[in-house]
A and B are shown apart, each in its own frame.
Chain A
Amino acid sequence: MAESARTSLSLREGPEEGDGEQSGLPSLRGDDLRRHLPGVEPDRTLTDWGRSERVERVLDETLVDFMYRYWFRAEVEGIENVPASGGALLVSNHSGALPPDATMIGKAIREEHPHPRPLNITVEHFFKGYPGFSMLLPKVGAVAAHPANVHRLLYDEQQLVLVFPEGRKGTEKLYKDRYRLRRFGRGGFVHAAMKARVPIVPVCVVGAEEAAPVFAQFSLLQKLTGLLYVPLTPTFPHMGPLGMLGYLPAKFKLRFLEPIHFDDPDQEDPSSEVQTVAQEVRARIQENLFDMLAKRESVWFG
């Protein structure tokens, strides 16, 4: 987050120095602020994040349900690794032109988990600025991947958040590079989990690469449309915008791995541990992906 230092008004306060405590003011990010979260207004159909239970339910009962049960025939392992209460950060591999993986992970938690919970999916800021996406994505539980958003969801609201540390590098990669994880950014997701004192649950998804394979990227079209990328898939662009939804019926397998807890959340210098943990999470996902692929007999039937 870019702080404009010249104009940011800090006055004589600041949680770091503890001045706020002395003058009887609560610190800006203290535990006690959680008590002041707004209550739920039962007459509303949207949450403060813009999530709509109604839109979500309609989609969930129709399209998503069909995809999950019959098209992708999703198989889930290790759902018990998703905590039944409290915040947790789910970290997954990412792929596909219009990635179906996030929706399937959310659906798996709703279907298989003994305590179904909503999943917040972090997406690029780009979508907030693009007409259509901007209106629809928040309604189904997408949240811009801003560190402050992730922190509020994990720490203050104790919810489940899904991140793809590969980001768009994951969705841009071509079919020939399938299941080979890209770089995991700068490990910002580990930092977020440590700060919020929640566990990280690594997730492996097999099948999404074949469901929406990307054969090439059109850089000129991308510039013209202002989209993140314009891929060549089996059905796009020659079948129009809806071709983005033309998924092939690959068999989906999801594996939730053991959560990683942080022993000492208040340590002095977390930066070295951030990199170590980020590497570890990436290695575990990669290892399990190869394991799942080795056991897979057919792309279409599992």
Chain B
Amino acid sequence: MSGSRRILITGLSTYWGGLLARALESEPSVEAIVGVDNEEPSVELERTEYVKVGAQHALLRRVVEAAEIDTVVDTRLVVDSVLTTPRLAHENNVIGTMNLLAACGGPQSSVRKFVFKSSTHYYGANQDDPAFFDETMGRPHPPGTPIERDVLEAEASVAEFADRNPEVTVSVLRMANVLGPDVRTSHKDLMGLPAIPMILGFDPRYQFVHEDDVVHALEHVVKNDLPGVFNVAADGVLALTEVAGLLGKPYVPVLSPWGTGLAATVASRLGVRIPPEMLAQLRFGRGVDNRRFKAAGFEYGYTSREAVISLAEHLRLHPLLRDAAEPYRYEREVEEFLRWSPNVRNSRPKEVVAAMAAPGPPPPPVDHYDDLEAEEVLPLLGSLERADLEALREYERGHRGRESVIGAIETHLSPPAATP
């Protein structure tokens, strides 16, 4: 583990943000995890502190400074226009990124690492694309859709930040289309349909990455210093007909090759939303060269094919499980109780408890010792081991120093010593 000890995660309510926080919680060397977002997190978290704040510059800077954050992981980027409106997406992707970077930059800043989750929408999907984009390649044509413009602008400001702050390790991960049981994307919606719609006469190439691999990839760059840009995409580029075959569904070339935009509008009226950035992919497809991130030590858990199969299994099981598992809902009071109340005994992992108590003297061997009166303590002493008794004596001397308690401990300690 390199220097990352105090980590700020933006977009805690996104799937990745939440799961990354959870994964980092089990790392003993991570002292603090702060998650910021303007929506509440969607996964249960043990010791991550959630701060409800948007991407306003002044507030973020105060959070970063106050918590002495050394690593910022930005998982906020919205790369799917079905999830929000273009205006909100722009606000989040471009303005939000600028604000966050402004909060992290500057000579006094404690931030030493910045991880940015981007998307292979950076490359677009065009007729004269190479079959495999590598990280040095730009897109052949300027972007035509709002989401693609956002990704380019956001990456441009990250690149500028990297130039102006040479002491900060900046990693950019360009994620391919994400698939998996838990994340919602427009491509997953498409694959959930009874038949896969296609553009007549086109069989685009698709490369996916499983949702677990996305979280592991973010974890990998937090734990290792890997400056630069990396494509994150699983091995294997599938044709869309092949994807349909793996899902066990028919494919229907219902979208006309000319006037496809119009056909997509008709489809969205009928309840099948096909966003513009997806239309380009349905026509030309996209493959990326994933070897650089593999050379940097990352191992994928799934190939593209296995990611599709895992989604297929989920889609088959989904109707059966629909009502079984209640989704997690964030309740502030409950979370606060679970995290900070001294009465919570079981929910915290051991290392977390150790980390929380680390700065002070060792804790007394009796739970909630500080709350107990002398007469409540005395009956407990008989059940304690010799070492624990000695520790308790030290603790009592250092704290309340009640003579009755110390005396009782002495008596419990003396008999074995007297009769060897």
Contacts and interface: CB of A to CB of B under 8 A. Distances in A.
B138 A8 contact: yes
B152 A11 contact: no
Contacts of A138: 203, 205, 239
Contact of A1 (B140, B142, B257): B140
A128 B137 contact: no
State the majority secondary structure of interface residues on A: loop
30 contacts: A1-B130, A1-B138, A3-B138, A4-B138, A7-B156, A9-B158, A9-B229, A10-B136, A11-B172, A11-B228, A12-B166, A12-B227, A12-B228, A14-B136, A15-B136, A26-B292, A33-B291, A36-B291, A37-B291, A38-B235, A43-B305, A44-B236, A48-B131, A48-B205, A128-B127, A129-B283, A131-B202, A132-B201, A144-B129, A146-B131
A50 B239 contact: yes
Contacts of A125: 127-128
Contacts of B199: 131
A1 B137 contact: yes
Given A9-B155, A11-B170, 16 more contacts: A9-B229, A10-B159, A12-B166, A12-B228, A13-B228, A13-B229, A15-B136, A25-B227, A32-B295, A36-B291, A38-B303, A39-B235, A41-B236, A41-B303, A126-B127, A132-B201
A163 to B, nearest CB: 15
Contacts of B292: 26, 28, 33
Given A126-B127, A131-B199, A25 B226 contact: yes
B128 A23 contact: no
A48 B138 contact: no
A232 B239 CA distance: 35
Interface in A92-147: 125-126, 128-135, 138-139, 143-144, 146-147
B65 interface: no
B166 A135 contact: no
Contact of A12 (B162, B291, B303): B162
Contacts of B155: 7, 9
Given A25-B296, A38-B303, A144 B138 contact: no
A33 B130 contact: no
Interface string B269-308: 0000000000000011001011110111000000101000
B200 interface: yes
A139 B240 CA distance: 13
A279 interface: no
A246 interface: no
Contacts of A239: none
A48 B287 contact: yes
Contacts of A131: 199-202, 257
Contact of A135 (B142, B156, B202): B202
A13 B228 CA distance: 6
Interface residues of A, number: 55
Nearest to A226: B258
Given A2-B138, A37-B291, A129 B236 contact: no
A7 B305 contact: no
Contacts of B39: none
A12 B161 CA distance: 11
Q: Closest 10 CB pairs between A and B?
A: A131-B201, A38-B235, A131-B257, A148-B130, A36-B291, A129-B127, A9-B159, A8-B138, A26-B295, A125-B128
Nearest to B143: A7
Nearest to B161: A11
Nearest to A133: B201
A66 interface: no
A149 interface: yes
B131 A152 contact: yes
A224 interface: no
B115 to A, nearest CB: 13
B203 A50 contact: yes
Contacts of B172: 9, 11
B229 A11 contact: yes
Contacts of B139: 4
Interface string B121-132: 000000111111
B135 interface: yes
Interface of B is mostly: loop
Contacts, number: 151
Interface in A19-42: 20, 23, 25-26, 28-29, 32-33, 35-39, 41
A26 B227 CA distance: 12
B191 interface: no
B150 to A, nearest CB: 12
A114 B37 CA distance: 64
Contacts of A67: none
Given A37-B291, A134-B201, A146-B128, A7 B284 contact: no
User: Which among A9, A26, A132, A144 has the greatest number of chain B C-beta atoms within 10 A?
Assistant: A9
B295 A144 contact: no
B135 A45 contact: no
A64 interface: no
Given A9-B229, A143-B131, A149-B130, A2 B205 contact: no
B203 A134 contact: yes
A28 B292 CA distance: 7
A50 B138 contact: no
Nearest to B234: A38
B285 to A, nearest CB: 8
A48 B305 contact: no
Interface string B158-180: 11001100100010100000000
A13 B227 contact: yes
A152 B283 CA distance: 23
A5 interface: yes
B228 A25 contact: yes
A203 B128 CA distance: 27
Contacts of B200: 131
A46 B170 contact: no
A134 B202 contact: yes
B128 A144 contact: yes
Contacts of A6: 156
A26 B293 CA distance: 10
Contacts of A152: 131-132, 289
A2 to B, nearest CB: 5
A36 B130 contact: no
A189 B411 CA distance: 94
B242 interface: yes
A139 B242 CA distance: 12
A29 B292 CA distance: 9
